[in-house]
Amino acid sequence: MSSSQIHLEIDELPLAAASKRLSQLQQYFQPDNPRLETNPGEKGEKELDIIRERTMADKDPITCHVLNTYTGRPGAGILCVLTLVSSEVRPTSTTNKQPMFTATTDSDGRVKKWSSESDSLSISSILTQLPNRAGSNTSRSTWSLRLCGVDEWYREQGVEDCFWPEVEVRFAVDGRENEEGWRHYHVPVLLGPWNYSTYRGS
């Protein structure tokens, strides 16, 4: 076998692989592919609803994600406190405290589920109780997300002069779960020892 034949066969290998891959992609994008149907029909809609329900069951209506901008890694192991700050609903407990939930960020820096002092108290149940705003068919509430012990958390990483003992983000929540127009509330916090920023996530 000559060197030109070897060269030709080697050149043809990537072409054959590319051709096969192109064929696979064309099959994938065919209209009869059920994964890409724009109108999945009644059966497909039911399957989508089941997937949505399972996904939402894995997380509360309000979640957060902390990213450590100092190291470029997730902010794992930070105590977070979520509190209902203001709404038309008054606290019902004998202690007259506003509803409060706690969680510690996981290894990915996320809080998907919150805990409360009472097993019967949940973020969903609070949102459901909120009355509509005057002249509106939706509710509005203000929440506080506190990242506690931020200075100590950075000290454990060797940063002695962290500016924040804790970080608080206040935000408004409009509506209730399962209402038309409802969107999950996700609050990412990009956290550094001397700065932080946040935004409305999805």
Contact 87, 141 (CB under 8 A): yes
Q: Tell me, yes or no, if the pTM score tops 0.75.
A: no
Q: Are residues 84 and 29 in the same domain?
A: no
Q: Are residues 73 and 155 in the same domain?
A: yes
Q: Are residues 154 and 185 in the same domain?
A: yes
Q: Which domain holds residue 27?
A: 3-38
The single-letter code of the amino acid at 191 is L
43 assigned to some structural domain:
no
Which DSSP letter does residue 99 get?
P
51 assigned to some structural domain:
no
114 assigned to some structural domain:
yes
With residue 65 as reference, give the H or E element that holds it.
strand 62-68
Q: Are residues 69 and 154 in the same domain?
A: yes
Q: Are residues 154 and 106 in the same domain?
A: yes
Q: Are residues 89 and 148 in the same domain?
A: yes
State the total domains in the chain: 2
pLDDT tens per residue across span 159-171: 999 999 999 999 9
Q: Label residue 182 by pLDDT band (50, 70, 90).
A: confident
